[in-house]
Amino acid sequence: MTWMQVVIAVDDIVAKKAAHLQDEFETEFTDLAGPKGSAMFENSPSRDEHVFYFSPDAVAIFGLLLKVYDAAECKPPPAEGTTLLVGNTGARKALL
Distance, CA of 49 to CA of 30 (rounded, Å): 27
pLDDT digits (tens, 9 = 90+) for 63-83: 888 999 999 999 999 888 899
Residue 92 lies in a domain: no
What is the dihedral sign for C-alpha 43, 52, 34, 79? negative
Q: Work out how many domains the chain is built from and give that number.
A: 1
Residue 28 lies in a domain: yes
Residue 8 lies in a domain: yes
Residue 26 lies in a domain: yes
Residue 94 lies in a domain: no
pTM of the model: 0.89
Residue 36 lies in a domain: yes
Distance, CA of 30 to CA of 14 (rounded, Å): 26
pLDDT digits (tens, 9 = 90+) for 27-45: 999 998 888 889 999 987 7
Domain span including residue 63: 3-85
Q: Which residue has the higher pLDDT, 73 or 17?
A: 73
